[in-house]
Amino acid sequence: MGDAVNPYPFRCVLSFGPLIRSLRSSFQENRGSDDFGEPRLDRILEEAPELAEPIEDLSLLKRRGPWVERLMALAFPPSYWEKELLAAVVPYVMRPVLVSPVFRALFLNSDGAFAGRPNLSDSDFARGRAIRAYLLILEKLYGITRGIGFPLVYVVTDPETGLERHFKMNLDFRFVEVLRTDGGEETPDPGDREYLLANLGEPELLRQRFPPEAYTLQGFTMYQAVDVTETEVLSALERTLVDRESVVSRNGFMELQGRLRTLFRRPDLLAGLAAIQDDQVLLLTTGSEMKRRCIFRDSHHIPIHEFKGTPYERAVTEGKVIHFPDVLSEPWPDHMMQDIRDRGVRSLIVAPLFFKGECIGTLDLATLEPGGLGAMETLIAEQIQPIFAMAIRRSLDDLQTRVEGVIKQECTAIHPSVEWRFRRAALRAIERAGEEGIPEMEPIVFSNVHPFYATSDIRGSTDVRNEAVQNDLAEHLDLALDVIRKAFGERPLLIFREMEGRVRDMRDRIESHMDGGDEITILAFLQGEVAPVFEHLSGFSPDVARAIEACVNAVDAKVGTVYRLRKAFEESVTRLNDRLAAFLDREEEDAQAMFPHYFERHRTDGVDYVIYMGESLAEGRVFHDLYLKNMHLWQLRVACGMAWQTERLKASLKVPLDTAHIILVQHAPLSIRFRYDEKRFDVDGAYDVRHEILKSRIDKAVIKGTGERLTQPGRVAVVYSHPDEARDMRRHIHFLSEEGFLTGTIEDLELGDLPGVQGLKALRVAVDLASPALAEAAGKGLDWGG
């Protein structure tokens, strides 16, 4: 990208003058430590005096090449040039002057021009160069240094592997001078300086007051390339996997595989994805047709039992990434071994993909040579496990949505607040109908709508559930151990001693630490080896028969193990969810009367909801900011009510549970689009995706510098990004404190960074659970206004 596409014609001249003056200054300051430096410089300039002057004709560089190298060697040691990715270029226009061998191999074509491509469009690249030039003016003429907000990254093809590599270009402008060429003052007035500072991001505005033709950029710029391939590819993988079709279309899958080859630096890498759906494994491979964008219809289906005893089962059971140096030395069913031989796969990595403790699929990576993948590749696979798990989870969610659609005969319930818009689109489709029938319905998009999101999450539900599972398994093992010991007492068979030792080992292991695969292993042992001998052992003696009866009676027939504590926990969660959902639904009816809006409620371990409100959603209604503020106040009061409902119900639950409450505030409106293929609304546009990311991650937020979870029982946290959002919510909190709903001081909190999200802050305040006003409001319903 040179002057041909340069809309900002600064005059750029190569000159070694700044370097020469810098060297002389350095020699003067270090007089005595290097008595040979300045004489060497003088000899170079005596033999090639042209190097001391601005160089308009770059052909001089070829004629004086050895002297240029000797001159540059005074500032940059030759060993530095041999090892580092370095280049000296004419400032601003990127014409190479002197480059290191490794830089030339990666970044220059045979004609000496830059190869590869930058991470910016042509227009953004040109704009960024203009901004850099004005930054130089600011620095060189005013002494004010400002950084540029976006890094320059070049993507080049590695000549050895044929794969893309990403390099960040660190630019050094020490040897660039800025000269006025229009006869203007060397030091412009302070007003010009303030104008520059205020409009650095708008080069077109700066051009009017600081015309590029009035300045000469003289000297040379040093480029140092730093390999950032891993960071860039990981970010690209995350962006690609946000696309719902990335794992269910052939093109999307091939793009994923290409990025994985770059990340692992293996051009022969083969990737495979599998999703677990009920009793089937859905293989998503490059061999599938992948035409219908459906994880079920665009995959090969294999019964899950066919993977028993394979490395895949081992990886899932152990719950970790496993590396197999040579797959031919591993046990495989005959039909799979033949497929492996046909494909030529030898080295294999299998990464199980988990979502909320459940294995939902696998990612496998293979090469065609033994030992092609090792420990380092295993570490990289562990890094990308979570993002592929989320992609599979999203695809499985899409599949579930499609299944529900088939059950409903391709119909879906449309929220009443937007039925009018669907009716209108259907009428227009009917009007356009011809002999082919009703055409596809038009896109349904609602613009300029305000999002509202909040969650009342059961605190520590995962830990409580895991503890319940652990204790139930321990009880099952104890009952089985009692049977084995009594049987041994009647007939001292050596096998009983072995079984007793295995039961004790399992009992000790889960008591100290329970891994993801322990439950599967223990149940397989109890159901496959212990329970089948009960019928025979019952004839040993009445005492043994009673022990067997106690064990059998304690085991739940549906789940195949003791289900006492876990059942109590799940019943408690269900009761609490029912209460919270019923309360929210009741309050939502009142909120609809205030201003019609789109509403979705979800139940997991707790209840969350999303609301979209705006004039485009409400037929014939005028929206005002008054409704926006009122809805935020409604959210706060509902959160107080949810906390009160939890406290009231807690004593009657088999397992006492607490809830923590988060409200996500975003004043900036967004657009939502109805996705016909998924039968639901989704945000429309890349910028609006940030709100979706926040929704999925704020429940994991911690207070910066402390590690303390933001969510706390009996408190409401308000998460925001901009001060205006905090100001309004603070006013609402003060009002509800005066009303008797909230109590104590407001905590101002800065949150730690979340993946892909930085700069969040929060307000946190306690709910007055003993307040009569809150009890009356939460118990009898609330009048929110209309």
Task: List, for residues 139-168, the tens digit of each pLDDT value.
Answer: 888 878 877 656 788 888 888 888 888 898
Across the chain, which distance is largest between two alpha carbons, in Å? Answer: 113
Q: How far apart are CA 628 and CA 614, in angstroms?
A: 9
Q: How far apart are CA 332 and CA 306, in angstroms?
A: 10
Q: 3 pLDDT exceeds 70? A: no
Say which residue the tokens 């059942």 belong to: 567
- How confident is the model over 688-717, as pLDDT tens digits? 666 777 777 888 888 988 888 999 999 999
User: Per-residue confidence at 232, pLDDT binned at 50, 70, 90?
Assistant: confident
Token representation of residue 349: 């990595």
pLDDT at residue 415 in the model: 66
Q: How far apart are CA 58 and CA 48, in angstroms?
A: 14
Reported in sequence order, the residue ranges of 368-516 that DSSP labels E, i.e. its strands, are 445-458
| H/E stretch holding 527 | none
Say which residue the tokens 């949150």 belong to: 751
List C-alpha distances in Å: 501 to 10, 478, 496, 596.
Answer: 82, 12, 9, 65
Q: What single-letter amino acid sits at 181?
A: T
User: Per-residue confidence at 729, pLDDT binned at 50, 70, 90?
Assistant: very high
Q: How far apart are CA 639 and CA 661, in angstroms?
A: 6
User: Per-residue confidence at 434, pLDDT binned at 50, 70, 90?
Assistant: very low
Q: Which domains does the chain have, with CATH numbers?
A: 3-225 (no CATH), 231-406 (3.30.450.40), 461-563 (no CATH), 568-780 (no CATH)
By C-alpha distance, which of 635, 760, 771 is closest to 697?
760
pLDDT at residue 674 in the model: 76
Beta carbons within 8 Å of 605's beta carbon, 6+ residues apart: 457, 458, 461, 462, 573
Mean pLDDT of the chain: 82
User: Per-residue confidence at 425, pLDDT binned at 50, 70, 90?
Assistant: low
27-41, 561-575, 581-595, 726-740: the lowest-pLDDT one: 27-41
- How confident is the model over 474-493, as pLDDT tens digits? 999 999 999 999 999 999 99
User: Per-residue confidence at 678, pLDDT binned at 50, 70, 90?
Assistant: low
Dihedral angle computed from the Cα positions of residues 331, 336, 341 and 342, in that order, rounded to the nearest 10 degrees: -170
Q: Do β-strands 358-367 and 659-664 pair in parallel, antiparallel, or remain unpaired? A: unpaired
pLDDT at residue 420 in the model: 64
Q: How far apart are CA 529 and CA 247, in angstroms?
A: 40
List C-alpha distances in Å: 220 to 18, 88, 98, 115, 543.
Answer: 8, 6, 10, 20, 94
Q: Do β-strands 659-664 and 715-720 pair in parallel, antiparallel, or remain unpaired? A: parallel
User: Per-residue confidence at 559, pLDDT binned at 50, 70, 90?
Assistant: confident
Specify the higher pLDDT residue, 333 or 47.
47
Quote the distance between the C-alpha of residue 282 and its chain's center.
Answer: 24
Q: How far apart are CA 567 and CA 572, in angstroms?
A: 8
Q: How far apart are CA 240 and CA 384, in angstroms?
A: 13
Q: Per mean pLDDT, which of 150-154, 406-410, 418-422, 600-604 is the most reliable?
A: 600-604
- How confident is the model over 251-289, as pLDDT tens digits? 777 888 888 898 888 888 888 888 887 666 777 654 334
pLDDT at residue 541 in the model: 93
- How confident is the model over 440-480, as pLDDT tens digits? 666 778 888 899 999 999 988 888 888 898 999 999 999 99
